A and B are shown apart, each in its own frame.
Chain A
Amino acid sequence: MNSAEREAWYRYQHEKYGIPVEHLRREFEEELSGKNPMDAPLEIPDKMEVVFKYSYGGQSRFFRELRENKTLYGAECPECGKVFCPPRSNCHTCYQPTQWKKLAGTGTIEACTVQHYTTSSFIKKVPFVCAYVKLDGTDSLLMTNMEVDDVAGVKVGTKVKAVYRELRLGAITDVYFKPLD
């Protein structure tokens, strides 16, 4: 390819996949310069993408309460009394519909680890704490990614409280946890 053809290739791939042109140039300059033998393996940019308008179904109230009222709810089974958070519309033991129960938003770390490496989506946040929180008044574990200055300060048994974000989107990330002072 000549240089104009190469620039057009970079522009097209940038617009299609959102990859910065300088990254594309770094990765593909040799290939596009025609230096590789015809039989050499050829790599190209690609992306798999699907857009949703997702329904939370029976869990809708949980996310609306979180977004509108900065409140966490659990789901209580009327038969065995177990309280789930993450909530579920039906108890898997008794096969009965659950009822909403307002939670205090405090809890205890049941298991935690510090991530020093992670996925593309989160790698700029490391190190961060990944923990299972047992919220007070519930009998299950909620996964959370804790934002704390001192990652070593979070341990099994640490008491935590919910903090609600300013911008709430109706997602579980509208809430995070920090140690109770």
Chain B
Amino acid sequence: MRDVAIVGIGTTKFKSRWLEKTYYELAFDAAKMAFEDAGIDKDRVDSAVYGIYNDFFQRQYQPDAFVHDYLGLGLKPMVRVNSGGATGGAALRIGYQEVASGLQDVCLVLGVEKCADTYNYELQMATPEVLRAILYTADMTYDNPAGRTAASGFALAVVAHRDKYGNPTEEQMAKVSVKNHFNATKNPVAQSPKVLTVQDVLDSRMIVEPFKFYDNCLYTEGASAVILASKKVAESISDNPVWISGLGASVDYVMPGNRPSIHTFESSRLAAKKAYEMAGITNPVEELDLAELHDAFTGTEIMAYEDCFFCEEGRGGELIDDGTVLPDGRLPVNLSGGLIGCGHAVGATGIMQTYEVCKHLRGEAGERQRQGARKGLVQSIGGTLCTWSICLVLER
């Protein structure tokens, strides 16, 4: 396998509604930024990988073909990836394969998502209709008719974890929410910058037990892109390449009844383990400088501390209590604000997380810069109770 570098990055602002742009126009903006950042013309790209999650959100099946056309990449090969919340990470993995295999030298990996074009006219809001579109990804015969949402699936896992280990507590989850909303205040592309107190989070209305309003990420519209290149090309065009030194992926049984337990996310543990092995990491808290974890819900960020081996299984709650994951802690988590603070534009999310880690490794993260960052982790998960998991280790 060949070494693969990230030589260009771009992202739109993450917003609850991009009324003035369609999904392919958002994709265009992100791609243009990434090409400019890499200092290359779009014709230099050999192939493209598009992470787009929900066809209903785009009001278009096979939306990748229309993005490809709009970006002017016609006649170049491309593929679309759809792996639930992990779509962005999964797209990066396919892009990596394109270049590492030697098949292509330069590959555009772009994630884009709309969502709030869906609408519930009676309630005068998008969210219940967004959730309805998402529920078509649950098993249509047995799960969809029960009205389960993505949040309730993850809530079931957090409750099972709490029953077994006594955490995460509601206070610990609230602290994660405070941290991520605050981190977002320093990120110019973030959707939900907010200075909250633990009490604000605890007092917010219940959505799905044990998640209250501020324990949930919001739905987001946006696009993010990275340009991957082989070592030879990277060294000829880039003076600040970021290397993908570790990559791991795992996909669990989508029907949780086929898993041995639901209090931990086995696919996530395997993805992290493989990524660390490839990158030669044995002690992630010591060796990583920052991590962007998939905090669709505060409780699952705490489970992710364990799944990414920042601590022993069952002790995730301690890392938010002792400050390890705070901006000035030993391993800051979600300096971008994460999905809760920056936003969750599903197909784009894993690529936004990668963009964020690259910003730190390049020393361009401004006010939120992790000083001297050399190594970072991206965790991208999604699907019913974390079906898909991808982890990437990035290095400068």
Give residues in A with beta carbon < 8 Å to B. 19-20, 23-24, 26-27, 41, 43, 45-46, 48, 56, 59, 84, 86, 92, 111-123, 125, 128, 130, 132, 134, 139-145, 156, 171-173
**Contact present for A41 and B19 (CB under 8 Å):** yes
Question: Known contacts A123-B123, A156-B163: does B208 contact A115 (CB below 8 Å)?
Answer: yes
Kindly list chain A residues whose C-beta atoms are within 8 Å of the C-beta of B147.
Answer: 115, 118-119, 121-122, 125, 128, 130, 145
Partner of B258, one of A56, A59, A115, A140: A140
Q: How far is the CA of A141 from the CA of B120 in the complex (A)?
A: 32
Interface residue? B39 (CB, 8 A):
no
Interface residue? B233 (CB, 8 A):
no
**Contact present for A121 and B141 (CB under 8 Å):** no
Partner of A119, one of B135, B205, B206, B257: B135
Stretch at the interface among B126-134, B302-310, B350-358: B126-134
Separation in Å of the B115 CB from the closest CB of chain A?
A: 13
Kindly list chain B residues whose C-beta atoms are within 8 Å of the C-beta of A20.
Answer: 121-122
Those of B131-175 within 8 Å (CB) of chain A: 131-132, 134-135, 139, 141-143, 145-149, 152, 155-157, 159-160, 163
Q: How far is the CA of A123 from the CA of B143 in the complex (A)?
A: 16
Instruction: List the 8 shortest-distance A-B pairs measured between CB atoms, nearest first.
Output: A140-B257, A141-B257, A122-B147, A119-B131, A23-B121, A145-B146, A119-B132, A120-B128
Question: Known contacts A140-B258, A142-B257, A171-B145: does B128 contact A114 (CB below 8 Å)?
Answer: no
Give residues in B with beta carbon < 8 Å to A. 19-20, 56, 59, 117, 120-124, 127-129, 131-132, 134-135, 139, 141-143, 145-149, 152, 155-157, 159-160, 163, 205-210, 255-258, 262
14 A-B Cβ contacts within 8 A? A27-B121, A48-B56, A48-B59, A86-B141, A118-B152, A119-B128, A122-B147, A123-B123, A125-B147, A134-B257, A143-B142, A144-B146, A156-B160, A172-B142
Kindly list chain A residues whose C-beta atoms are within 8 Å of the C-beta of B258.
Answer: 92, 140
**Contact present for B145 and A113 (CB under 8 Å):** no
Kindly list chain A residues whose C-beta atoms are within 8 Å of the C-beta of B257.
Answer: 84, 86, 132, 134, 139-142
Separation in Å of the B304 CB from the closest CB of chain A?
A: 19
Q: How far is the CA of A27 from the CA of B157 in the complex (A)?
A: 39
Q: How far is the CA of A114 from the CA of B209 in the complex (A)?
A: 5
Kindly list chain B residues whose C-beta atoms are within 8 Å of the C-beta of A120.
Answer: 120, 123, 128-129, 131-132
Kindly list chain A residues whose C-beta atoms are within 8 Å of the C-beta of B131.
Answer: 118-120
Q: How far is the CA of A92 from the CA of B117 in the complex (A)?
A: 39
Taking A145-B145, A156-B159 as known contacts, 19 extra A-B pairs with beta carbons closer than 8 A to each other, sorted by chain A number, are A20-B122, A59-B141, A86-B141, A86-B255, A92-B258, A111-B156, A113-B152, A113-B210, A115-B147, A118-B131, A119-B132, A120-B120, A120-B132, A130-B147, A130-B208, A140-B257, A142-B257, A156-B163, A172-B146
**Contact present for A113 and B159 (CB under 8 Å):** yes
Q: How far is the CA of A14 from the CA of B366 in the complex (A)?
A: 51
**Contact present for A112 and B156 (CB under 8 Å):** yes
Q: How far is the CA of A86 from the CA of B135 in the complex (A)?
A: 18
**Most chain B CB atoms below 10 A, which of A24, A56, A118, A173:** A118
Partner of A114, one of B135, B141, B208, B256: B208
Kindly list chain B residues whose C-beta atoms are within 8 Å of the C-beta of A45.
Answer: 121
**Contact present for B156 and A145 (CB under 8 Å):** no
Separation in Å of the A79 CB from the closest CB of chain B?
A: 16
**Contact present for A19 and B255 (CB under 8 Å):** no
Q: How far is the CA of A20 from the CA of B257 in the complex (A)?
A: 41
Q: How far is the CA of A172 from the CA of B229 in the complex (A)?
A: 49
**Contact present for B128 and A172 (CB under 8 Å):** no
Q: How far is the CA of A144 from the CA of B146 in the complex (A)?
A: 5
Separation in Å of the B320 CB from the closest CB of chain A?
A: 22
Q: How far is the CA of A172 from the CA of B152 in the complex (A)?
A: 19
| Chain A, Cβ-Cβ closest to B20 | A41
| Chain B, Cβ-Cβ closest to A92 | B258
**Contact present for B132 and A117 (CB under 8 Å):** no
Separation in Å of the B290 CB from the closest CB of chain A?
A: 32
**Most chain B CB atoms below 10 A, which of A84, A118, A119, A128:** A119
